[in-house]
Amino acid sequence: MGKLDGKIAIVTGSNRGIGKGIAIALAREGCKVVVNSYKEDEDAKKTAEEIKKLGADSIFVKADVIREVDMKSLVEHTVKHFGRLDIMVNNAGILVQGTVDTLTEQDWDKQMDVNLKGVFFATKYAVMQMKKQGTSGRIINISSIAGLVGFPGISAYCASKGGVTEFTREVALDCAQYKITVNAINPGVIVTDMTKGMINDEETRKSLLENTPVGRFGQPEDIGNAAVFLALDESSFITGHNLVVDGGWTAR
C-alpha cells in the first residue's frame, strides 16, 4: 500500500528532469499523476507511460504555465478525468543567464513569466478547486537555493526564485484555514538538462562539487522524495516552509 493511495496530483513541467522525478516518486506511493509540459513530444508521452507501468494511473495534459487560460483548463481537465485535485506541484521553470547589466527587458519578462507568474496562475486555480472540495490540499513550489542566496550571473533567475520563496510564505497564510498547506522545495545542483552545460564543463563541475559538502550532485529522485514527504497527510502541520535539498550547499 502506498503512502499517497487515492491522491490526485498535477506536476507542471514533468516530461523530464526534476518534474519527472517528482511525478514518478508520487506515483510510486500510489498517487494518480497528471504529467504536463507545454510541448507534446515523445518525452511527455513516455513519462505518462512509465508511470502507468508502476501501476498508477496517469495522463498527459499539454499546457503553458504562462497562459492563465491553460492553467485553468489544466485543473479543470484533471478534475474532469480524476474527480478531484489533492496535490499541485509547481515545477516548470527555465533559467535565463545574464548579469544585471547584460539582461534585456525581454529576458527579464520571460524569466518572470515562467518561473513566477506561472506559479501564481497554477496556484490560483489549484487553490480554488481545493477550497471547493473542502478537504485538505497540498501546494508544493519548486523554488531553488538561488531563491535564498545569491548566484553570480543569473540575476533574473535569482529574483524569480526569491519571489517563489516569498509567495509560498504568503499563500500559506491565506490557505491555512482551508487545511491547504503551501511549501517550497529549494534544490541545490540537480542533474538535469538545465544544468548539464555546467556539469559537463570540467572547471565548473569541480567548483560546483567543491561547494556541495556531500560530494555529489542531486538527482531528480532526491527532490521527488522531498515532494512525497510534503504531500503526506502526516505533514499537515508543515506550511510556509522552504525545504532546502542541496547536499549542504547553504549550510556552509
Which of the residues are catalytic? 157
| Cβ 237 to ligand NAP shortest distance, Å | 25
Q: Give the residue with the Cβ less far from ligand NAP, 1 or 158.
A: 158
Q: Give the residue with the Cβ less far from ligand NAP, 131 or 225.
A: 225
Amino acid in position 62: K
- What is the grid cell recorded at 85? 485535485
Which of 66, 112, 116, 171 is the binder for ligand NAP (CB under 6 A)?
66
Q: Across-strand partners of 187?
A: 245
Is residue 192 a contact point for ligand NAP (CB under 6 A)? yes
Q: Give the residue with the Cβ less far from ligand NAP, 37 or 239.
A: 37
Is residue 19 a contact point for ligand NAP (CB under 6 A)? yes
Q: How many helices (H) and strands (E) does the chain have?
A: 9, 7
Is residue 18 a contact point for ligand NAP (CB under 6 A)? yes
Which range of residues in 24-32, 59-67, 80-88, 102-110 is near ligand NAP by CB under 6 A?
A: 59-67
- What is the grid cell recorded at 151? 548566484
For residue 90, what is the enclosing H or E element? strand 87-90
Is residue 23 a contact point for ligand NAP (CB under 6 A)? no
Question: Would the CA dihedral through 237, 241, 242, 247 be positive or negative?
Answer: negative
User: How many angstroms separate the CA atoms of 225 and 25, rounded?
Assistant: 6
Which range of residues in 2-10, 58-66, 201-209, 226-234 is near ligand NAP by CB under 6 A?
A: 58-66
Is residue 187 a contact point for ligand NAP (CB under 6 A)? yes
**Strands across the sheet with 87-90, in order?**
58-62, 32-37, 8-11, 87-90, 137-142, 180-187, 242-245
User: How many angstroms separate the CA atoms of 6 and 154, rounded?
Assistant: 40
Among candidate residues 216, 243, 251, the one with its CA nearest the CA of residue 89: 243
Which range of residues in 86-94, 98-106, 168-176, 224-232 is near ligand NAP by CB under 6 A?
A: 86-94
Q: Tell me which residues touch ligand NAP (CB under 6 A).
A: 12-13, 15-19, 37-39, 64-66, 91-94, 114, 142, 144, 187, 189-190, 192-195
